[in-house]
Each structure stands twice: as structure tokens, then as C-alpha cells.
A and B are shown apart, each in its own frame.
Chain A
């Protein structure tokens, strides 16, 4: 186990180095000239050239990368081309917001998803089961921005009980985290149901029941523990997606998170900012996967990491 942890941690810098190189090069080869985009449509060629020099884009691309790397190793990811703010401080100001949104919507998704999925499996073919599966299909197939707009119109404009958008209080978190939770809740509910169904038909569950154990102990302790391995894997994978991908929700609710930062920076080809946000997302995905591996080992002693 400890060997595994050390190996994973040692891999992180290698992964980051590779990703930083790929991102750096891709950005410079995709069309779109930051100097032109910064200077604006009405700028003359002279303005654009001056901007290019100022942004250091006229240097050899490998020298640019070497510079970037050297600064990055000292904890300096450069300044945003657009706002001149340091990339690190831009990310720092956004990170807690993204974290808050991700965790709160995940708390909702995991708790509702697992509970309803497990109950649906236990009471298979009941009305409850059918209702849960209906909601799950709905949740998995509804565009969350559409849902968000409907919810905003109802709760903020019509009823006036929740803030429409922005951040600043826990009330601001309610609508975005609910709308963001919709899809993963559905996903987790379906996953929990199917993996639970598989488990509760196995012999050891029948044995446990035959021993006279109560239903709660049988399902929660004996069944769920085995059923939750695929669930945790899905939850973990999706968390990474969500972290870099809450773009739509963040845009609709004006939530100042990483996703919107990334989208805004792509529009203006703000290279340093794109690099910074992508690297952060990579770190988060690697860490979450790492965490998932460890949790699974903890739950299922049959699995060995070394």
C-alpha cells in the first residue's frame, strides 16, 4: 500500500510535465492569435505586432516553453494575458468556489443516488423502483442548463426565495448545486440499483438472511459493501469530469469557478491561464483517482494495489 502511494505521488510530476508540454504546444498550434484577439478588431497590424512582442509570443516556441517551465517550477505560472493578474491568484480565487459547488452537488448526488438506488433494488419492480428509474432516465437525459433556467425562473423570478445567480452566501449555492447534481444522482441511482441487484441474488446474502439477520444489516452491511465498489469507481471518475466540466452550470449561474475561467480564457487564447487551469484539473483528476483506489482497497480487502 505505502509503496503504491509513493509510486503514485512520484508519478504526479511526470504526468504534469507531460501534460504541460502537450498543452503548451497544442495551444500554440491551434488557430487564433492572442495578440490579435487582445488588440481587438479595430487594431492595426502595427498594434498587433506590438502586442505580440509585449506578450513574448515572437520568441522561439521551445524557448517560451523553457521559460514557462522554469517559472512554473518556482511556483509562478505567469500572468493572465488579459487581466495581467497572476494565474496562480486567479485560480486561487476561483478554486474554493468550484470546490464548494462540486462537493455540495456531490453530497446531494451521492446521498440521494445511493439511497434511492439501493431501495429500488431491494424493492425491485415496486412502484418506488419504477418511480426511481423514471427519474433516473429523466435526470440522465435532461440538459442541465435547461433545468437550471426553469429552476431560476421559478425560484428566483416567480417566487423570489432564492438568489438568481452569483455567489456570496449558502443560498447562492442551492440552485447551482441542485441542477449540477441532477445528472450524477441519476447515474449513481442506476449504478447502485444494478450493482445491488447483482449482489442480493448471491448465495451469501441468502445465507445471511437464512441465519435470521435483519434486513437492514443484510442489505447495508453485507450487500452494500460489495455493491459499492463499482459505485465508487463511477463517482470518482465523474468527479474529475465535473471538476473541469461544470462549465455550463457555472456560466448559467454566473458562478465564479474554474470552468468559466477556462472558457473565458479559451475565447481570448489567454495561454498562461489555459495552461494553469488545465494543469489544476489534471492534478485534481489524478488525486481523485488516487483517492478512489485507496478507498476501494479499504473497503475490499481482496484487492491489492502493490
Chain B
């Protein structure tokens, strides 16, 4: 017994000694841990938010989602939209002292493009970029495979972050555990299961940050995140579960930050299920869905009805795309016209966290005679099920959400609705196919004229909406909780953005 006590005591002491906090520091608490420190090998918005203060891209999105200069000072496209020339900012140093120049930029992109590295964001860049040239010390030329009008969006997304050439030489495993960028904060440590700590970069090319240290932590427990904010153990929490929004709003000293998000929640109707091949049936389900009730009950009002199959923040979104009103009578008529007056059975695959949406639909659709069978699944199982090719696919309709980090319709409509995107190739989960839509999406992707692109995308959205490929449900607002002393932090779609946070007394 005595021995055990001594052991316990000494272990406690070890824990005590390993603690280290100090200086002016901000603690941010997310719901998920970061997956990696490699910006080009993941697509998780919480991982992005952690890497964002440390890594920078050639161009960036501002608060209004417009593209602005960052590591590139200027850029231009050739008339045919196939050559993009970027002027690189001079006098910028990476955290390890390496110099930022055209060669470093080329090396960083070449790492992504090289198939041997097997990085998850490769195809996004490799499908567009044919060649990179460095005509001058601070000039980089991207020669594209085809005109790509949203290229400045592509150089703004986090996975195109510029990585130190010296760090690249240390290999991918090194970059998975360490961050070496040009950002205002330098990587200090990643203690798995605990925290990621970064300290301010005194040699930052821009304004040196005011806050000395950022600490990212995470807890999957919603109530714990809220308590952390209340007790002062976290200065920022993201996301805030809608059920707790009111508590934070009403607590003195705390602020609730609320922003429209690009994240679109939907049910992909699987056309392998025979009744769902009929447009009328799919429309009927859309009419039978009381979206406002779902938003009220599940989101506590913190969201808006999805009027389009794509997110409202991305370029190309059509705010006038008509939403389906709640009209169960009309739904019944349509079902009868389609020959399913007595209803049919629809099976839904859903992850546990979103099962309440499926249950809401189950209730609403039972009123028009549609029987919903819910398959609640753990994440890995769900991904196996919904990404299976037609020959193995069980024909489940799928509840999921989508947000395009590209903030462009191309990152939304093409993967979800193009015929070439049938799973498992990409994410057309319901095998929706309309040649007209395919043509519009292809045209838009090959046009440089932004107003024309907008037109193409608007048409495509309206057709998809009319065809009712999805039951588009809602855009949930992004909610963050902040201690009042924190400033200069904002939400961009579904990501918490902080590069230059400040603390006010």
C-alpha cells in the first residue's frame, strides 16, 4: 500500500513539473483534435483553424470572402485563363530562417503535386496545375491544364499553404508533426491528447502579433466546452452547440459570435431506390419537409432554410433559387401522380450525431405515407456504406453536410451533382445525373468571365433544385463563444479564423 502511495505521489509530482503556462496567452477550445500538422494532408476545418496562425497562402480570403494578397503581392491571369503569374512578397522568412522566394513556392506546390508523397489534397491541385515556372527570383508562373477561373481561390485555400523548403527536405513525417510556415505564430509543441501551443513570430513580415501565445485545446463534450468558457479556462470556444447559445449570450463577460456558414445540411436521395428515380417523388419529399420546424427544434433557430443545393457564402450562390415551401397536400398529390399514393419505404444512412434530423424527417414523411427506416451508423461504417460503388451500394439515402473550402460553386456543385462524380469517384451520393447540369458545370469551370460563370451556376442550381436531387435542409449558423477581452477573431464559413487576435482590458 505504501509503495502504491509513493508511486502515485511521484507521478503527481511529474505531472506538476511538466506544467508550463505563462505570458499573455489565449486558449482556444475546439470540438475535435487536429489530425496532423501538415496543411496539405487533411480537409478538416478544425485542423485548418489550428494551422492557420502558422501557415500562410499566396492569397487569402478577407471577412467578406474576397480574395486578397498575402504571400503574393499581385497576380494576374493571361487572357486565355491558362497562365497565372504571381509576384511573391519580398523579405519574408520562414520560421526556420529559410527565405521565401519563387523557388520556395514552387517547391511547396511540387510537394503537393508529387504523387509519391500521397498527400490528400493532391488531386485538387493536380487536376488544375500542369507546370510551375520561376522566371524571376520573386515571380511564379502557374501553367494550367485548362482555363481555371477560380485559380485565385485555389491559391487561397489552406491546403495550398507555403511550407518551408528546408522542412520539406526533412520529409513528410516531419511535416505531419511540425509546422514550419511564415505565419505570425511559430509552432512550439503538439502534445497529443492535450494541446497545440504556438508562440508569436518576432520576425513576422507584417505586424508582429500582440498576444504572446496561442494554445489550442479540444473537448468533444459540448457542456465541457461551455463550462471552460465560463470558468475562464478557455477564451474562445468553437463550435458552440445551439442549445447553449442563449446561456453564453446571457452571461456577462461573454460574447456569442454568430455567422452565416457555407455548410449545407442535406439528404441525398439515392436513385438506386426505385421510387426515388421519379422526380415527382423526390419533389414530394421536399414539399413534405418542414424545414423551419427542424431549424427551430434542432438548431434553436440558429440557421436558415437552404434554398439552394449549395452554400450561401460560396461564389456562385443564387439567393433567388426557389426553396420548397412546406406543403404536405401538394406532396401527397405528387406522390399519387407518380403512382405511389400508398407511399413507399425509404432507408436513410446517418451518423449518430445527426440521427435527430433523420428522426424529424421520419415523423414528417409518415404523414404522406412514406415509411423511413433509419440506419444509425458510427462514422467509419457510415463512410464505408455511403461511398460504396453502385454494385455494392444498398441504396440508402444519406444525410450529410458539405462546405466548400474553395468558397466557390465548383467545389460544391461539381463533386455533389456531376455525373462523373458518382461515388466512389467523388461525392455524388445519390447517383443524380442530368446531362444539362453536367454541361453547365463544365462550361462554368472553363470560363474566365465571372459574371458568366455566375449565370451558369445559377442555372445549374435551379435545375438541381427542380430535379430535387437532394432534400436541401438548412444552413446552420457558425457559433463561437468568446471572452469579451478577445478581439480580432472572426468566423469564415465554418472555420474559426485567428491570425492576429488581440486582448483588450
Contact = CB atoms under 8 A, between A and B. Distances in A.
Interface of A: 31-33, 36-48, 50-51, 53-54, 79, 82-85, 90, 93-94, 96-97, 99-100, 103-104, 106-107, 110, 149, 152-153, 156-157, 160, 163-170, 172-173, 251-252, 254, 256-257, 260-261, 264, 267-269
A50 B15 contact: no
A36 B380 CA distance: 9
13 contacts: A31-B384, A41-B43, A41-B383, A44-B123, A44-B426, A82-B35, A83-B36, A85-B176, A85-B177, A99-B7, A152-B224, A166-B195, A256-B194
Interface stretch (B201-209, B226-234, B330-338, B476-484): B226-234
Contacts of A46: 123
Contacts of B217: 166, 254
B252 interface: no
A36 B13 CA distance: 42
B227 A50 contact: no
Contacts of A157: 227, 230-231
A204 B18 CA distance: 53
A104 B164 CA distance: 45
Contact of B122 (A45, A50, A106): A50
Interface size class of B (residues with CB under 8 A): 35 or more
B43 A42 contact: yes
- Most chain B CB atoms below 10 A, which of A47, A53, A269: A47
B107 interface: no
A107 B44 CA distance: 41
Contacts of A45: 424-426
State the 10 A-B residue pairs at the shortest beta-carbon distance, nearest first: A32-B380, A168-B19, A54-B118, A256-B193, A84-B176, A40-B43, A100-B11, A103-B8, A39-B120, A170-B12
Given A44-B123, A169-B16, A269 B425 contact: no
B400 A269 contact: no
A103 B380 contact: no
B136 interface: no
A193 B402 CA distance: 57
Contacts of A164: 224, 227-228, 231, 233
A264 B193 CA distance: 9
B120 A256 contact: no
A167 B12 contact: no
A298 to B, nearest CB: 13
Contact of A93 (B19, B191, B230, B424): B191
Contacts of B35: 38, 82-83, 268
Given A54-B118, A107-B5, A165-B228, A96 B11 contact: yes
Given A43-B43, A85-B192, A33 B219 contact: no
